[in-house]
Every structure is written in C-alpha cells, then in structure tokens.
Structure 1
Amino acid sequence: MKKLILTAAALALSAGLASAQTVRMGTEGAYPPYNFINDKGEVDGFERELGDILCEKAGVTCEWVTNEWDSIIPNLLSGNYDTIMAGMSITDERKEVIDFTEAYYPPAPSAYAALKPDADLKGIVAAQVGTIQADFVAKSGATLLEFPTLDDTVAAVKNGEADAVFADKDPLAAFVTAESGIQWVGEDVALGGGVGMGLRKTDAELKGKFDAVIAEMKADGSLNALITKWFGPDVKGF
C-alpha cells in the first residue's frame, strides 16, 4: 500500500512538473509585423518567432493563445494564458497591474497618418482601444475615436469618420502607401519604455527565466538580427 501511495505521489509530481513546463503565450494575432495570423491559420510574426526561441532557451514549451486586445490583460490575470506577447509597451500604469520582462523591442516612435497633408490633428483622431496612443490622443486636445484593431482605425480615416490615425509607426507603415492614399502627417512622438512580455506578478520565476534569455540575445546580437528580419534594416535595435 505504501508503495502504491508513493507511486501515485510520484506520478502526481511528474504531472505537475510536466504542466509547469507548458507556457501559454497570449497574443492578439492582428498587429503585424509583431503578430498576425498567417494563411495556415497559425500565429506568426516577430513575436511568434522570438517567443518560440525564448521558450526553447528557457527550457519550456510554448502554446500560443489569441485574445482580443481590449481584454488581453484581464484574461492574463484570470489565468487564460501565462504571458502577453502582443506589441505591448511597458508603461508605469500597466506595471501597477502586471509585471514585464526587460524590453525585447526598443522604444519606437508613434505617428499620425491621414488622407490629407493638412489633416486636423486636434480634430477627430482614431486609435486602438487600450493603447498608449489612445491615452496620448485623449490628453492632446483632440477628440479620441477608439476601435478594437489597428485595421479599424485606418478604415475610419479612409471612410471619413476620423481626420487621422495615431499608432505605433512600425505597424502603421504597412498602411501608408500610394495605393491607399494614406500618408504620414505631423511629427513622430516618443511614447513608452519599449515592448516587453507581460506576466502576472506572482510569476517572478518565469519572468526571471525569460529576462535571462532576452539579455543573452541582446548580448550576442541575435535579438537585433531578428528585429532587422521583421522590421527592416532602418529600425533601431539594442
């Protein structure tokens, strides 16, 4: 009987350890090139490739989960996944609720885009809900028009609902083309402390593992190589 009890306990411990090795990576899947859903219906992009590398080097198994942006922090806190890798800027406000790893993407500019070069940036400006750009617009004196996704904010400019869109410049650049008629307007704005992985404050050990790998990749240049691959040679690295 004692042997059976010990065996059962060992099995339970093994199951617990196996479970602990699977890390559910939460992302939006709608913010290229950070993250998007490819033609196979799979999470793809800079954060998917980087996240898989981080998990491998940290000795854990990644399992990717998609979630709408506006509820991405609440669903982390409720346990639907263990991390957020979704182009999320590190801010003091967010750090009151969750922890962040060190930045895996440096602070990058935010920018305005519109159909007309003289667009009223104090008029109606579209931004994605729950972003640092939306917060900036709300405090800028403009009328903020929030939408669930970046695509929706650009559509609002195209259909005349908004005078301009304000967003992270790198993802917004995909929409600024001669064909679309969308063009850069105004000045770039520096916001946030770079992009990091969000975790629950109770997961300090997991945060430490990822921090160590991010630091290693910064030191050996492999993180900069990945940034260049996905964002181009002109983007500032570490």
Structure 2
Amino acid sequence: MTTFLKLAGAATLAATFAASALTAETIRMGTEGAYPPYNFINDSGEIDGFEREVGDELCKRAGLECTWVTNEWDSIIPNLVSGNYDTIIAGMSITAERDEVIDFTQEYFPPDPSAYVALSGADMDVKGGVVAAQTATIQAAYVAESGATLVEFATPEETVAAVRSGEADAVLADFAYLKPIVDASGGELTIVDDSVSIGGGVGMGIRESDGELKAKMDAAIASMKADGTLSDLIAKWFDGRMVKF
C-alpha cells in the first residue's frame, strides 16, 4: 500500500505491536466496504459481498468469533499493523512490497485481470492519455510506469466519476469491479482493454507477529478449497465464474 516509505513506517509499528490477535476474545476483520463484489455496504448498512461470506465461513471453520470493521483503503495496512483490527480481507493482491510489511495467507481468489474503461466512442490511448486509478493500488503503480498521466483518487467510485466528467480519459481497475458498472451505464462506458495482468492472487493480510492466526486462516482456506465451498462462492459473486483450486 502507498509508498514504500509509508510501508516501512508501518513495519516499524509492527515491531512494537506486542499483542497477538489470538489473545483477544474476538478477531476483528478489516475491509474497505467500497469495492463490490468483493466488499461493500448493503442497503441495511451492513458489510456485504464475496469477502463477507468468505470471511464468516473462515472464522467458523477456524473456531474464531469475528466482527467486521471498515477502513479507508489508503491506510488499511498501517491500521492493521497498529492494531485497529486483526486481518485485512479487502480484495488485496499479494505483492512483494506489501509482503515486506505484513504477512499474507494463501490466496482465496486467483489473480484477476485489470481493465481500462473509457467513454464510449472516445479515441483512447491508454499509454498516452490521462488514466484514473485508486490511490495505493497495483493499478495506480502500473499506470505510473506505463507512460500515461496518472490521476489518483481515494475511492474507486471517484475514479469512474473522473471518466464521466472528463477529468480522466480512462480508469484502470479490477475487471470484476468495472464490468457491472459498464453493463449498467446504458452504453455510456465501454471496456477498452480487459487483459491487463498485474499483481498476484488475493490473500488475507495479517500482522507478521500473528503466525498462529495466519496458520488457522490458511487451514480454513485450504478446507474451503478442498470441499468446493470457495469455488461456489466465487461463482455466486462473480457471474458464474468457474475456478478450480
């Protein structure tokens, strides 16, 4: 997340955080709540989505009592490290930079392509135009290195709004996030390229000091893969996508 310096600062906090998550009565599951279908806030004001269902099932299998909290994306790793919650389950791709600061479980969602989306009929040059991306994401880093002009926003909704307003020529984000927005746009938006491969699979972030919690979650993820539950949840939330682990 964010710059390497910010991550390094988070690592320093990690070294001073002494309490293990497993000594707490309840494990706090941290998510963004703004990135459907991975996670979002439903009409009842509750955290919902693919990761809510996955997380609840993981806690059940691990024999843990869990509660859910939301946190803005750009500070989600530092606030895990400083103890505001015990896990990150927020559509976070496993990267080498992030892995220097926190630990990851095995992936619970395979690598997903990113996509560029622009206004329909626009003559879009994804390498030479202005491209919006959410701050501190793998997409923002990719755009910054691509030759395009990067404009960053705190939330994914703002990146799409920038395209609609003309502030950006296109947005780069996960295909699974952008496709429903394009489908619901009535032809206003179009997918320019849906084959951008960046980042690894999605895993749960856990403090480096919480090895026991990581082991419990790894075992629970493995069991969900083995009996097909995880594949079923992916198919449910991602338009019938078939994934075999």
The TM-score, its normalising length taken from structure 2, stands at 0.87
SS in 2 for 1:93: helix
Q: Tell me the CA shift for residue 172 of structure 1.
A: 1.0
Aligned residues: 223
1:110 maps to what in 2?
114
Quote the Cα distance in structure 2 between the aligned partners of 1:101 and 1:193.
12
Q: Is 1:94 paired with 2:98?
A: yes
1:12 maps to what in 2?
none
1:136 maps to what in 2?
142
SS in 2 for 1:39: coil
Quote the Cα distance in structure 1 between the aligned partners of 2:214 and 2:51.
16
Query: Quick check: 1:227–1:237 contact (8 Å CA) kept in 2?
Result: no
Q: Is 1:58 paired with 2:62?
A: yes
Quote the Cα distance in structure 2 between the aligned partners of 1:103 and 1:63.
21
1:119 maps to what in 2?
124
Query: Quick check: 2:133–2:151 contact (8 Å CA) kept in 1?
Result: yes
Unaligned 5+ residue runs, structure 2? 1-19
Q: Tell me the CA shift for residue 235 of structure 1.
A: 5.1
Query: Quick check: 1:82–1:199 contact (8 Å CA) kept in 2?
Result: yes
Quote the Cα distance in structure 1 between the aligned partners of 2:35 and 2:157.
9
Quote the Cα distance in structure 1 between the aligned partners of 2:31 and 2:91.
8
Quote the Cα distance in structure 2 between the aligned partners of 1:237 and 1:39.
32
The TM-score, its normalising length taken from structure 1, stands at 0.90
Query: Quick check: 1:21–1:59 contact (8 Å CA) kept in 2?
Result: no
For 1:120, the aligned partner's letter is: D
Quote the Cα distance in structure 1 between the aligned partners of 2:192 and 2:242.
19
Quote the Cα distance in structure 1 between the aligned partners of 2:133 and 2:243.
24
2:48 maps to what in 1?
44
Q: Is 1:186 paired with 2:186?
A: no
Query: Quick check: 1:103–1:194 contact (8 Å CA) kept in 2?
Result: yes
Query: Quick check: 2:133–2:172 contact (8 Å CA) kept in 1?
Result: yes
1:41/1:64 CA distance change after superposition, 3 Å: same
Q: Tell me the CA shift for residue 234 of structure 1.
A: 3.2
1:50/1:221 CA distance change after superposition, 3 Å: same
Query: Quick check: 2:74–2:135 contact (8 Å CA) kept in 1?
Result: yes
2:27 maps to what in 1?
23
Q: Is 1:164 paired with 2:203?
A: no
Deviation digits for residues 8-59 of structure 1, max 9, x if unmatched?
xxxxxxxx99963410000000000100001111100000111000001101
Q: Which has the larger radius of gyration?
A: 1
Q: Tell me the CA shift for residue 187 of structure 1.
A: 4.9
Deviation digits for residues 175-203 of structure 1, max 9, x if unmatched?
11352611000351111111000010000
Quote the Cα distance in structure 2 between the aligned partners of 1:51 and 1:153.
27
